[in-house]
Structure 1
């Protein structure tokens, strides 16, 4: 099961499991309300046929799948740069351990630890970054709406997708529990 916690403002690269002492843990409900990030559990061994993932892909139109397998230092530095995407991004951990840091509505970092089977849906417009743990082993699946993987680095607040995300966040769009996936 995924864990999330508030962390100090600055985290040095390379990776370290950094958090406040003691960590201020965040529930999945609080994570969703404060950032719009959703969490789902998916079978990492047979994700291709997992009903939860299939239904999310069908409902939301994210169908471009890319494997991220043991990223090198250059890729890690790129992914650790704070950025957002115009559309929702699905991130499924298949092997190893990684951390997604997301900004909450008050611009504070929440670190989300992902292990095999953890699926995050990061809303379009939500600033985030990614790093693997100190074991440097990670395989994941990135599912996008568009084949063009465009990241907008910090200070792209003028883009309409960012403004729309903030409107949703501050107008309570993420306050309601997320709709349950029907596993017929």
Structure 2
């Protein structure tokens, strides 16, 4: 995983868009983004480590998603556009990258700058509920990931708006940030 500020220059969303200013893991954790590096060839297998973290974090369900033209079929173009629209979820977004690579862009609070997080095979990333973010494939144009869920799988994106700003999960997220800076 590598994180940095997004350069905000026009161009294909799948390009690096690296401003040259990196963001370290401690700063990401303060924003509510968690990360584990679990190599796919780890001793004992990555599955046992994922199972351990899933139990620790109360992730009860899982499935896989194949974000490719073949995996998404006719929905590919529309899904890619939807994923890149700024949104939040009322649940954590948890992904373990099995193959390929992708970007998760998260909004830094309170600056509102985009931080781009490039995730690779073996990266487990958790974006807490209430964080504004977006997703994009990178130039490889493919990623396969294990999705983990606390409850029954659901994936409801709430586009950023004044209404979403007052969503209870967004407010809880902002309050958690304010509590750590006091």
The alignment's TM-score, normalised by the length of structure 2, stands at 0.83
Question: Where does the alignment leave 5 or more consecutive residues of structure 1 unmatched?
Answer: 176-184
CA distance in 2, matches of 1:4, 1:159: 27
CA distance in 2, matches of 1:87, 1:172: 21
Write out per-residue CA displacement over residues 116-163 of structure 1, whole angstroms, 9 at most, x where no aligned residue.
001111111011111111121211112122322211111111110110
The alignment's TM-score, normalised by the length of structure 1, stands at 0.83
Q: Which secondary structure does the structure 1 equivalent of 2:82 belong to? A: helix
Q: Which secondary structure does the structure 1 equivalent of 2:106 belong to? A: strand
Greater than 6 Å deviation, 4+ residue runs: none
CA distance in 2, matches of 1:80, 1:10: 15
Between structures 1 and 2, the one with greater helix share: 2
* Number of equivalenced pairs: 168
Write out per-residue CA displacement over residues 36-70 of structure 1, whole angstroms, 9 at most, x where no aligned residue.
10110123354332x2x222211222222121213
Question: Where does the alignment leave 5 or more consecutive residues of structure 2 unmatched?
Answer: 69-75
CA distance in 1, matches of 2:17, 2:173: 27
Question: Is it true that 1:116 corresponds to 2:103 in the alignment?
Answer: no
Structure 1 vs Structure 2 CA RMSD: 2.0
Aligned to 1:31: 28
